[in-house]
Amino acid sequence: GKGRYTKRDGQAYGYAGGIRNDGTVIMNGGKIQDNVAMYYGQGISRDESSMARGAGVYNAGTFTMNGGSIANNICYDNITRMAYSGGGGIYNTGSLSIYGGTFSENKAGMGGAIYNEGYCIIDGADVLINKNSAESTISTAGNSSGGGIYVAAGTVELKEGTLSNNRAHNTASTGMENNSNTIHQGNGGAVHVANTGTKEAPATFIMSGGTIKGNYAYGNTGKEGSYVRCGGGIFIQGGTG
């Protein structure tokens, strides 16, 4: 599916730029690309309850990917751009099984390729999650995290497949306060495991195979030439990994 779900200015109002699934989808090939999920609001106050989600796919059902590509999808809002947005490729609250195919050039504030709150398994030799990015121009906890995958809750299992050349990048000129220092973080170039899950279902990342290589994270501390890099491959904020 190439195109946009149109509600305002050719862009989705919040959720699902390409496909919203509450049932069952099996993707054996084809392309989901060049879609936009945009939260269009007023003012500068934002939190995760009002973020754009799932530019390519918003999955609340069962989504199985055996092949094809999910590429060049972007989540953002009209004020902070990509800061409060999740899942450039897929935002998952259901069951997501990836056995083949590629994710590339997808962008969001958190989870450039995948933002997970449900269950996700990645198990295929030809699965490639490559050159996706989590980007932000403001410094708020969670922003620019998980260039490849952001695990907010639930479980992501990597059994086979490759995460490469993904990035978490924060370019803010002012930042959040942490121990009286201004820090602009890019967390988890490939994977960010957050501390936002519940006691019963903590954010969990399980890796029993596959490859994580060549990913990077960077951000600006507010001092010229000074950067914070947290987890070029995997950043574990909380939960388990």
The pLDDT tens digits of the residues spanning 121-162 come to: 999 999 999 999 988 755 544 466 789 999 999 999 999 999
Is 90 exceeded by the pLDDT of residue 62? yes
Query: What pLDDT digit, counting tens, does each position of 4-45 carry?
Result: 333 333 344 466 678 999 999 999 999 999 998 876 443 333
For residue 237, give both structure tokens. Answer: 């904020």
Q: Is 48 helix (H, G, I), strand (E, B) or coil?
A: helix
Cα 145 to the chain's mean position, in Å? 7
How far are the Cα atoms of 21, 22, 110, 189 from residue 229, in angstroms, in the given order? 35, 37, 16, 9
Calpha distance 44→132 (Å, rounded): 26
pTM: 0.79
Q: Which residue in 139, 112, 111, 185 sits closest to 46, CA to CA?
A: 139
- Position 214: which residue type? G
